[in-house]
Amino acid sequence: MLTAAIAFAGVALLINITPGVDTLLVLRTSISDGRAGGVIASLGIMTGCLAWGLAAAIGLTALLTASHVAYETLRICGALYLLYLGASALWHARRRTTAQTSEPEIAAEPRGHWAAFRAGVGTNLLNPKAGVFYMSLIPQFMPDGAPTFSTTLLFTGIDLAELVVWYWLVSGVAAALAERLRRPSVRRRLEQFTGIAFLGFAANLATERP
Protein backbone atom coordinates (compact mmCIF):
# COMPACT_ATOMS: atom_id res chain seq x y z
CA MET A 1 0.00 0.00 0.00
CA LEU A 2 2.85 2.40 0.81
CA THR A 3 4.44 1.85 -2.60
CA ALA A 4 1.09 2.37 -4.34
CA ALA A 5 0.42 5.54 -2.36
CA ILE A 6 3.84 7.01 -3.22
CA ALA A 7 3.39 6.18 -6.91
CA PHE A 8 -0.07 7.74 -6.94
CA ALA A 9 1.23 10.85 -5.16
CA GLY A 10 3.89 11.34 -7.82
CA VAL A 11 1.48 11.05 -10.74
CA ALA A 12 -1.17 13.17 -9.04
CA LEU A 13 1.41 15.87 -8.32
CA LEU A 14 2.32 16.14 -11.99
CA ILE A 15 -1.35 16.47 -12.90
CA ASN A 16 -2.08 18.99 -10.14
CA ILE A 17 0.72 21.39 -11.08
CA THR A 18 -0.14 21.25 -14.78
CA PRO A 19 -1.81 24.60 -15.62
CA GLY A 20 -5.56 24.21 -15.80
CA VAL A 21 -8.80 25.98 -15.09
CA ASP A 22 -8.63 25.43 -11.31
CA THR A 23 -5.13 26.89 -11.02
CA LEU A 24 -6.16 29.78 -13.26
CA LEU A 25 -9.11 30.52 -10.98
CA VAL A 26 -6.90 30.61 -7.87
CA LEU A 27 -4.39 32.79 -9.72
CA ARG A 28 -7.00 35.25 -10.91
CA THR A 29 -8.79 35.46 -7.54
CA SER A 30 -5.52 35.97 -5.67
CA ILE A 31 -4.54 38.81 -7.98
CA SER A 32 -7.90 40.56 -7.81
CA ASP A 33 -8.98 39.81 -4.22
CA GLY A 34 -5.73 39.09 -2.40
CA ARG A 35 -4.38 35.87 -0.94
CA ALA A 36 -7.45 35.36 1.25
CA GLY A 37 -9.66 35.31 -1.84
CA GLY A 38 -7.35 32.83 -3.55
CA VAL A 39 -7.37 30.55 -0.52
CA ILE A 40 -11.17 30.67 -0.36
CA ALA A 41 -11.40 29.80 -4.06
CA SER A 42 -9.01 26.87 -3.52
CA LEU A 43 -11.18 25.65 -0.64
CA GLY A 44 -14.10 25.60 -3.05
CA ILE A 45 -12.05 23.60 -5.55
CA MET A 46 -10.99 21.10 -2.90
CA THR A 47 -14.58 20.75 -1.74
CA GLY A 48 -15.43 19.70 -5.29
CA CYS A 49 -12.48 17.28 -5.33
CA LEU A 50 -13.65 15.74 -2.06
CA ALA A 51 -17.13 15.30 -3.50
CA TRP A 52 -15.68 13.59 -6.59
CA GLY A 53 -13.52 11.37 -4.39
CA LEU A 54 -16.52 10.29 -2.31
CA ALA A 55 -18.49 9.66 -5.49
CA ALA A 56 -15.66 7.50 -6.84
CA ALA A 57 -15.46 5.59 -3.56
CA ILE A 58 -19.10 4.53 -3.79
CA GLY A 59 -19.01 3.98 -7.54
CA LEU A 60 -21.06 6.97 -8.69
CA THR A 61 -18.42 8.32 -11.04
CA ALA A 62 -18.67 5.12 -13.09
CA LEU A 63 -22.12 6.33 -14.12
CA LEU A 64 -20.54 9.45 -15.57
CA THR A 65 -18.67 7.56 -18.26
CA ALA A 66 -21.30 4.85 -18.62
CA SER A 67 -24.08 7.35 -19.29
CA HIS A 68 -23.57 9.48 -22.38
CA VAL A 69 -26.44 11.77 -21.37
CA ALA A 70 -24.98 12.41 -17.89
CA TYR A 71 -21.52 13.15 -19.27
CA GLU A 72 -22.82 15.45 -22.01
CA THR A 73 -25.10 17.31 -19.60
CA LEU A 74 -22.27 17.94 -17.15
CA ARG A 75 -19.90 18.88 -19.97
CA ILE A 76 -22.29 21.47 -21.41
CA CYS A 77 -23.06 22.92 -17.97
CA GLY A 78 -19.34 23.16 -17.24
CA ALA A 79 -18.65 24.89 -20.55
CA LEU A 80 -21.44 27.39 -19.90
CA TYR A 81 -20.11 28.11 -16.43
CA LEU A 82 -16.59 28.71 -17.74
CA LEU A 83 -18.12 30.95 -20.40
CA TYR A 84 -19.80 32.92 -17.62
CA LEU A 85 -16.53 33.25 -15.69
CA GLY A 86 -14.71 34.42 -18.82
CA ALA A 87 -17.39 36.94 -19.72
CA SER A 88 -17.49 38.16 -16.12
CA ALA A 89 -13.72 38.72 -16.08
CA LEU A 90 -13.86 40.66 -19.35
CA TRP A 91 -16.78 42.71 -18.04
CA HIS A 92 -14.84 43.61 -14.87
CA ALA A 93 -11.87 44.59 -17.04
CA ARG A 94 -14.13 46.79 -19.16
CA ARG A 95 -15.62 48.42 -16.07
CA ARG A 96 -12.14 49.21 -14.84
CA THR A 97 -11.38 50.83 -18.19
CA THR A 98 -14.48 53.03 -18.21
CA ALA A 99 -14.25 53.89 -14.52
CA GLN A 100 -10.54 54.72 -14.57
CA THR A 101 -9.85 58.30 -13.53
CA SER A 102 -6.81 60.46 -13.09
CA GLU A 103 -6.39 59.29 -9.48
CA PRO A 104 -3.03 57.48 -9.12
CA GLU A 105 -4.17 54.07 -7.83
CA ILE A 106 -7.70 52.83 -7.45
CA ALA A 107 -8.02 49.50 -5.69
CA ALA A 108 -10.54 47.10 -7.11
CA GLU A 109 -13.29 46.10 -4.72
CA PRO A 110 -13.06 42.40 -3.79
CA ARG A 111 -15.89 40.27 -5.11
CA GLY A 112 -16.44 38.54 -1.77
CA HIS A 113 -15.38 35.27 -0.23
CA TRP A 114 -18.65 33.51 -0.97
CA ALA A 115 -18.33 34.33 -4.66
CA ALA A 116 -14.77 32.97 -4.66
CA PHE A 117 -15.82 29.76 -2.90
CA ARG A 118 -18.79 29.31 -5.22
CA ALA A 119 -16.60 29.76 -8.28
CA GLY A 120 -14.16 27.16 -6.98
CA VAL A 121 -16.89 24.59 -6.35
CA GLY A 122 -18.53 25.31 -9.69
CA THR A 123 -15.43 25.02 -11.86
CA ASN A 124 -14.58 21.67 -10.28
CA LEU A 125 -17.94 19.97 -9.91
CA LEU A 126 -19.11 21.02 -13.37
CA ASN A 127 -15.97 19.63 -14.99
CA PRO A 128 -16.53 15.98 -16.00
CA LYS A 129 -12.77 15.57 -16.38
CA ALA A 130 -12.45 15.85 -12.60
CA GLY A 131 -14.81 12.93 -12.11
CA VAL A 132 -13.06 10.86 -14.77
CA PHE A 133 -9.72 11.63 -13.08
CA TYR A 134 -10.79 9.97 -9.83
CA MET A 135 -12.54 7.10 -11.55
CA SER A 136 -9.78 6.25 -14.02
CA LEU A 137 -6.55 7.10 -12.18
CA ILE A 138 -7.12 5.78 -8.68
CA PRO A 139 -7.97 2.16 -9.71
CA GLN A 140 -4.66 1.94 -11.58
CA PHE A 141 -2.73 2.30 -8.30
CA MET A 142 -5.03 0.28 -6.06
CA PRO A 143 -3.23 -2.82 -4.71
CA ASP A 144 -4.82 -6.21 -5.27
CA GLY A 145 -7.24 -7.08 -2.51
CA ALA A 146 -7.29 -3.56 -1.05
CA PRO A 147 -10.70 -2.30 0.07
CA THR A 148 -12.04 -0.01 -2.63
CA PHE A 149 -13.83 2.51 -0.42
CA SER A 150 -11.06 3.21 2.12
CA THR A 151 -8.28 3.10 -0.48
CA THR A 152 -10.10 5.57 -2.72
CA LEU A 153 -10.55 7.92 0.23
CA LEU A 154 -6.85 7.53 1.12
CA PHE A 155 -5.77 8.49 -2.39
CA THR A 156 -8.28 11.33 -2.41
CA GLY A 157 -6.73 12.61 0.81
CA ILE A 158 -3.27 12.46 -0.74
CA ASP A 159 -4.51 14.45 -3.73
CA LEU A 160 -6.14 17.05 -1.49
CA ALA A 161 -2.97 17.40 0.61
CA GLU A 162 -0.98 18.13 -2.54
CA LEU A 163 -3.56 20.65 -3.68
CA VAL A 164 -3.39 22.45 -0.32
CA VAL A 165 0.35 23.00 -0.75
CA TRP A 166 0.11 23.86 -4.46
CA TYR A 167 -2.71 26.39 -4.13
CA TRP A 168 -1.06 27.93 -1.06
CA LEU A 169 2.03 28.57 -3.17
CA VAL A 170 0.04 29.83 -6.17
CA SER A 171 -2.09 32.19 -4.08
CA GLY A 172 0.96 33.54 -2.26
CA VAL A 173 2.95 34.20 -5.43
CA ALA A 174 -0.05 35.73 -7.21
CA ALA A 175 -0.94 37.99 -4.28
CA ALA A 176 2.67 39.13 -3.95
CA LEU A 177 2.77 39.83 -7.68
CA ALA A 178 -0.44 41.83 -7.44
CA GLU A 179 1.08 43.98 -4.72
CA ARG A 180 3.83 44.95 -7.14
CA LEU A 181 1.55 45.41 -10.13
CA ARG A 182 -0.66 48.12 -8.70
CA ARG A 183 -1.11 50.05 -11.93
CA PRO A 184 -4.78 49.89 -13.00
CA SER A 185 -3.79 49.24 -16.62
CA VAL A 186 -1.75 46.16 -15.60
CA ARG A 187 -4.56 44.82 -13.43
CA ARG A 188 -6.96 45.36 -16.32
CA ARG A 189 -4.77 43.43 -18.74
CA LEU A 190 -4.45 40.55 -16.27
CA GLU A 191 -8.24 40.47 -15.95
CA GLN A 192 -8.57 40.43 -19.73
CA PHE A 193 -6.01 37.62 -20.03
CA THR A 194 -7.77 35.41 -17.50
CA GLY A 195 -11.13 36.16 -19.11
CA ILE A 196 -9.86 35.05 -22.53
CA ALA A 197 -8.26 31.98 -20.94
CA PHE A 198 -11.57 30.99 -19.32
CA LEU A 199 -13.29 31.37 -22.68
CA GLY A 200 -10.64 29.11 -24.20
CA PHE A 201 -11.23 26.45 -21.55
CA ALA A 202 -14.97 26.76 -22.18
CA ALA A 203 -14.50 26.23 -25.91
CA ASN A 204 -12.24 23.25 -25.30
CA LEU A 205 -14.74 21.64 -22.94
CA ALA A 206 -17.67 22.38 -25.25
CA THR A 207 -16.00 20.71 -28.23
CA GLU A 208 -14.55 17.75 -26.31
CA ARG A 209 -15.91 14.27 -26.78
CA PRO A 210 -15.64 11.51 -24.16
- Report the alpha-carbon angle 53-204-190, nearest 5: 95
pLDDT 10s digits, 29-40:
888 788 899 999
DSSP structure string for 55-75? HHHTTTHHHHHH-HHHHHHHH
Taking CA atoms, 3 is separated from 6, 73, 134, 143, in Å, by 5, 37, 19, 9
Q: Are 26 and 38 in contact (CB under 8 A)?
A: yes
Who wins on pLDDT, 45 or 111?
45
pTM of the model: 0.77
The pLDDT, as a whole number, for residue 103 is 45
Q: What percent of the chain has pLDDT over 70?
A: 80
pLDDT 10s digits, 110-149:
557 888 899 899 888 888 778 877 877 888 888 888 888 8
What's the DSSP call for residue 126? T
Q: What percent of the chain has pLDDT over 90?
A: 20
The pLDDT, as a whole number, for residue 102 is 42
